[in-house]
Amino acid sequence: MAGISMRVNGREVDADVEDRTLLVDFLRNNLVLTGTHVGCDTSQCGACVVHLDGKAVKSCTMLAAQAAGSDITTVEGLMSDGELHPVQRAFREHHGLQCGFCTPGMIMAATDMIARHGAALDEATVRTELEGNICRCTGYHNIVRSILAAAAEMNGTQQAAE
């Protein structure tokens, strides 16, 4: 057993977990943050993407113990002050989801993508960067639109603030 503590969605958490516990299982089973999903066993599908210290990671591919001391954001922690994040809003407006299973991972990957590329994010980059996120419902068409729309809004907002 390992005693771990970390910050998850702004809240300090402490727990004793089996050494082999994956971060995704810790989030889902111990913290009941079931928005983060498991869609494969091989780190391919991306349904489990969360942010670890601001970077997108696949939470099925690291141990909970490895995340000790980190700051984790899951899809449940993306809203602020009761308002949807622009990426969440864009997915809804542009029908970027159907069954919703891949959606949390898509949204977390997208927010990271937009943060890294800023205004330079174009369609080809979005499609390439989605390599690690599989969706079976949408054909990606509206996911790509959602991400580009959110990026435009977030960059526009940033420019306005600057």
Partner 1 sequence: MGVEGIGARAARKEDRRFITGQGRYTDDMVVAGMKHAAFVRSPHAHARIKGIDKSAAESMPGVLGVLDGKQLTEDGIGNIICGWMIHSTDGSPMNMGVWRPLAEDKVRYVGDAVVVVVAETRALAQEAAEAVQVDYEELPAVTDAVSAIEPGAPQIHEAAEKNLIFDWEIGESLAVEEAISDAANIVELEVSNNRLIPNAMEPRAALGLYDSAEEHYTCWTTSQNPHLARLVMSAFYNVAPENKLRVIAPDVGGGFGSKIYIYPEEIVCLWASKRTGVPVKWTADRSESFLTDAHGRDHVSTIKIAFDANNRMTGIKVDTLANLGAYMSLFSSVTPTYLYATLLSGQYNVPNVHANVRTVYTNTAPVDAYRGAGRPEACYLVERAMETAARQLGVDPAELRRINFVKEFPHQTPVIMNYDTGDFEASLDAAMQASDYAGFPDRKAEAQARGKLRGIGLSCYIEACGIAPSQAVGSLGAGVGLWESAEVRVNAVGTIEVLTGSHSHGQGHETTFAQVVADRLGIGLDTISVVHGDTDKVQMGMGTYGSRSGAVGMSAVAKALDKVESKARKVAAHLMEADEADIVIDEGHLKVAGTNKGIPWSQMALACYTAHDLPEGMEPGLKETAFFDPANFTFPSGCYVCEVEVDPDTGKTDIIQFVAADDFGNIINPMIVEGQVHGGLAQGIGQALLEGCAYDPETGQLLTASYMDYTMPRADDLPNFEVSTTVTECPSNPLGVKGCGEAGAIGSPPAVINAITDAIGNNDLSMPATSQNVWKALNEA
Q: How far apart are CA 27 and CA 23, in angstroms?
A: 6
Measure Cα distances from 11 to 14, 69, 71, 75, 76 in Å. 10, 12, 9, 14, 12
Going by C-alpha positions, the residue among 26, 157, 64 that lies closest to residue 36 is: 26
Nearer to partner 1, 71 or 93 (CB): 93
Q: How far apart are CA 36 and CA 32, in angstroms?
A: 10
Q: How far apart are the first and last CA of the chain?
A: 48
For partner 1, the binding residues in 92-121 under the rule CB under 8 A are: 92-93, 95, 97-104, 107
Nearer to partner 1, 20 or 69 (CB): 20
Nearer to partner 1, 80 or 159 (CB): 80
Does position 55 bind partner 1 by CB under 8 A? Answer: no
Q: How far apart are CA 25 and CA 20, in angstroms?
A: 10
Q: Which of 8, 17, 35, 114 binds partner 1 (CB under 8 A)?
A: 35
- Letters for 8-27 (x = contact with partner 1 by CB under 8 A, - = none) are ----------x-x-------
Q: Are 1 and 18 in contact (CB under 8 A)?
A: yes
Closest approach, Cβ 104 to partner 1, in A, equals 5
Binding site for partner 1 (CB under 8 A): 18, 20, 28, 32-42, 44-45, 47, 74-76, 78-79, 84, 88, 91-93, 95, 97-104, 107, 123-124, 126-128, 130-131, 133-144
